[in-house]
A and B are shown apart, each in its own frame.
Chain A
Amino acid sequence: MGFLKNKSGRQQITDEHRPCQDSGRREFLKKAVKAAAIGGTAVVTGCQAPGLLGSKEEFALQFQEYFKAHYRLMTEKERDTTITRLERLAKLQKNVDVQISSKEAMPGVLFGYGFNVTRCEGYMECVSACVRENNLDRKSNMQYIRIFEMEPGQMTPDAGQGKFFNEVPVDGRFYMGAQCNHCDNAPCIKACPTKATYREPDGIVVVDYDWCIGCRYCMAACPYYGRRFNWNEPVVPVKEITKKQHYLGNRQRRRGQMEKCTFCVQRTREGRLPACAEACPTGARIFGNLLDPKSEIRFVLENKKVFRWKEELGTDPKFWYFID
């Protein structure tokens, strides 16, 4: 879709929010889409047995979903419309009542994360909480967070043991987590050909799942192994679906879309801690507002020995490791 719209040359998506200028063309497109949806539905119901492609309504909704704009270019009204559609689709397909939020970033907030290498004991509570919170695919056992068992002296998770299978903590070893670092100068954003992935004003790097074409350039570009690809249609048991969702966060993904840690955007924009930080039994995970001098993360940065993973790459991550 991105290429179609960009062909006019002047229709480039910039990094900032931009009011849409060509409402005439958009209105026309919308009408055309609606007409096509009605036509398409007529064709489906005419030729195929009902139920093969879902109900009439489901097909119409999916058809309209296909022609929506990039999240950053949507007006308030368009966002509400697509959210209504998505919520209705979830009801039709899985019979769950989800609430999808489109809450904007708060002004004066820049999220940052601290990981205490000394305190982490490898209990993996964070991973489990993350999987539940973000509706991750259970079939391929997708996880955003990885915990590594490290020998003394090792400084980067690449060198650690990622497949430990023993009671933790083991004496003389330490544990180090790796996940999306939410770089301020993120290579994945530069690599994305459709601008589906971008940096939100509060510093979170997000993916507009519906604009992702699944090329996996970002996965190759990320030096932190922070991105995950849906090789299969994600499977989440209906009972375990987290119903409080965000458009850019834990809403339903599809096969062929890239996804990643979003600092639990659906929680943190409300003021809550990310699921991993809340679940951590040892308090190794510190989360807060980097722009607030009174926040915990600022205390960590100013008083503890901190380092960032692969800082020399110039990616400027907002994820600090520290030791006691």
Chain B
Amino acid sequence: MKTPKQKKYGLATVLGLMIILTGWNAFSEKGGVVQTIKNATSTFDNGSVESVPPVPEDTVLAQVRYQGGTFRVETRKDKVKRFQCSQCHNNQPVAIANAVETAHGDITLNHGDKVKQLACFTCHDKDNRDVLITEKGTKVDMDHSYQLCGQCHFRQKKDWIGGAHGKRVSWWAGERVVKNCASCHDPHAPRFEKRWPKTYSRPFTE
């Protein structure tokens, strides 16, 4: 049998608990968009967006994984003029006059420090011209040149895999398709050139 005093204390405890819980609830909902992001842990099914077309044909599955999933990169071999290279470079001297000028005259090499410029065979394999070669001697397919560039530019490679460097091709939804290193950078002169802007800005305050 409860006395009225016990009842009073019981009621006060329940009320106090309610106030604390309500306060806690209100507090936990604060934090705005950052909290919303932290709470979102289930992956979004990118394939559920119906309007996304199938992946472009000139892409290939990357040999690395990003955030636990696979992704595709743009191909390179079909964009290199006169691929395969072994058509001319087949372990015999090329017996055409001015062959270097005719075939590779458009290449200006400006890669690496001015003190230590890279040479052709830093990246190209001397024995098999169809592939690239790393410092360790691993042969790298031209479609997967990020394996080669990532030797020195490892920070950029890490960012590129995650999505902070480089860019996706046209669609944020659907299967992830990203630009390859050589899609944006000329591998022989990778720095972007100085040029005039495409258009001009209006002043901040008119």
Contact = CB atoms under 8 A, between A and B. Distances in A.
Contact of A287 (B159, B172, B200): B172
Given A147-B201, A271-B172, A273-B171, A294 B164 contact: no
B164 A304 contact: yes
Interface in B147-169: 155, 159, 162-168
B98 interface: no
Contacts of B198: 123-125, 127-128
Nearest to A157: B204
B52 to A, nearest CB: 4
A271 B55 CA distance: 13
A162 B201 contact: yes
Q: Say whether chain B's binding surface is mostly helix, strand, loop, or mixed.
A: loop
Contacts of B43: 292-294
Contact of A225 (B40, B197, B204): B204
Contacts of B68: 294
A57 to B, nearest CB: 32
Interface string A39-65: 000000000000000000000000000
Contacts of A164: 197, 201
A283 B184 contact: yes
Given A281-B192, A299-B164, A288 B202 contact: no
Contacts of A250: none
Given A287-B172, A290-B36, A316-B32, A271 B162 contact: no
A165 B101 CA distance: 38
A22 interface: no
Interface in A258-277: 268, 270-273, 277
B170 A273 contact: yes
Contact of B194 (A114, A146, A167): A167
Interface string B38-72: 00111110100101100000000000001111000
Contacts of A318: 33
Nearest to B51: A270
B40 A292 contact: yes
Contact of A143 (B32, B196, B202): B202
21 contacts: A112-B37, A131-B199, A143-B199, A148-B201, A148-B204, A168-B196, A169-B194, A270-B51, A270-B52, A272-B171, A282-B184, A289-B44, A289-B172, A292-B44, A294-B43, A296-B163, A299-B67, A299-B164, A301-B37, A304-B164, A318-B33
Interface of A: 106, 108-110, 112, 114, 116, 119, 121-125, 127-128, 131, 141, 143, 146-148, 157-158, 162-165, 167-169, 184-185, 203, 225, 268, 270-273, 277-278, 280-283, 285-301, 303-304, 316, 318, 322, 324
